[in-house]
Amino acid sequence: MNAPSTLTRDLRADFPGLVTREGAPWHYLDTAATAQKPRQVIEAMARAMGEDYATVHRGVYSRSADMTLAYEAARRRIAQFVGGGDNEIVFTRGATEAINLVANSWGRANLKPGDRILLSQLEHHSNIVPWQMLAEAVGAQIDVVPLTSDHRIDLDAAESMLTERHRLVAFAHVSNVLGSVLDARRAAELAHKVGAKLLLDGCQAVPHMPVNVAVLDCDFYVFSAHKLYGPTGIGALWARADILEAMPPWEGGGSMIDRVTFEKTTYDAPPQRFEAGTPAITEAIAFAAAADYVAEVGFNAMHEAETSLVTRLRRELVAMNDVTVFGPEDSAGIVSFAIDGIHPHDLGTILDESNVAIRAGHHCAQPLMDYLGVPATARASFGLYSTEADVDALLDGITRTRRIFGKAS
């Protein structure tokens, strides 16, 4: 999966979205929200939507058969990308739907009153709200693991909190706000020691590091295509084959059935059991093209480049006495910060005037904001197309913003 480095060429040339309408460079530092798309992905989706397009799994004509082969090949590619089997990958609308699928299928079938779910303080709302809804429906309880002083999930605290009443542990593999990386293998050991399953939210992990679900020893892994330089509207749930086999369907309709009568319906085997209706055909093919693109660039090269940018930006921000930087020093491509007396929304608006795009807000992590004691943070997040020029533009914009607010440079 780790191909030789290609960062020596100008990867930005592959991304048509990295320029303004006037043709000026756009300093896009919001990749953690959604990544820009390379031409290779755009072209793969255009071909699938154009000259190659047909339905899948139904047609007896040759183009439908060809598209079915391409769609299932995309499933195999995504499975390979995370080290799973193709019968263990369910295509969903994204990681949010994948978590809801687990909650409403596995969760409702396996949790009962008095059972417990363990989350962490840094989770995205998508890894909080579905479990709250499930807990309310079945009478389960939720426990929350605190963070360490450098803003990682405190696994020592998790170990002391876990009991045999815990049925599920659901953690972010990488925090979307702090960039902190979970020791996922240890989390799996702790969960399995008390008989609980481990679900990992891998949205921020798969764009930055190689993932092998067998090595991680998790039970569920969810991620979205659009954060992996692919299209919106599609993501994936990986789950162990034996777990999927035992899970009841969540949604009913076409494609997920074996035999339908008014007296009784029987269901297809996984993963089709969980893919009711016409699937996101063109998106799946583009998803696979995105995985190919990232693999061709190589995680080693990406990690080296992103680490250099994170290190420099953190160093420059820490040197400003009115700036608080959150998260660990080795954050995975994400730097969140706050400037005294300047709301992140104001900073983001002024930066936009200089063609610099950051995220400003609570980042769908309001409990984490409460924990950090701030209403919002500014977040710069890097991708494989990010450069030193992006950091220069951000720092220049921060200097300009501080001047506007009457602060010394």
The number of folded domains in the chain is: 2
Per-residue model confidence as pLDDT tens digits over 163-212: 999 999 999 999 999 999 999 999 999 999 999 999 999 999 999 999 99
> Which are the catalytic amino acids?
364
Identify the domain boundary among 295, 322, 353.
295
pLDDT number for residue 58: 81
Q: How confident is the model at residue 409 (pLDDT cuts 50, 70, 90)?
A: low
The helix (run of H) or strand (run of E) holding residue 220 is strand 220-224
Query: The domain containing residue 212 runs over which residues?
Result: 43-295
Residues 333 and 288 in one domain: no
Q: What is the pLDDT of residues 85-128, one digit of tens each?
A: 999 999 999 999 999 999 999 999 999 999 999 999 999 999 99
Residue 37 covered by a domain: no
Rounded to whole angstroms, the Cα distance separating 99 from 78 reads 18
In angstroms, the CA 148 to CA 70 distance is 45
Q: Are residues 216 and 165 in the same domain?
A: yes
**pTM of the full structure:** 0.96
CATH, residue 329: 3.90.1150.10
Instruction: Write down the mean pLDDT value for the chain.
Output: 96
pLDDT at 35 over 70: yes
Identify whether residues 202 and 311 lie together within a single domain: no
pLDDT confidence of residue 407: 81
pLDDT value at 355 more than 60? yes
Q: At what angle do helices 129-138 and 95-102 cross, to 10 degrees?
A: 20
Q: Residue 36 falls within a domain, yes or no?
A: no
**Is the pLDDT score of 245 beyond 90?**
yes
As a whole number of angstroms, the distance between CA 229 and CA 251 comes to 28
Separation in Å, CA 33 to CA 4, 38, 224, 321? 27, 16, 11, 28
Q: Do 260 and 384 belong to one domain?
A: no
**Residue 360 to residue 92: CA distance in whole angstroms:** 28
141-159: average pLDDT = 98
pLDDT of residue 59: 80
Domain presence at residue 346: yes
pLDDT of 7 higher than 90: no
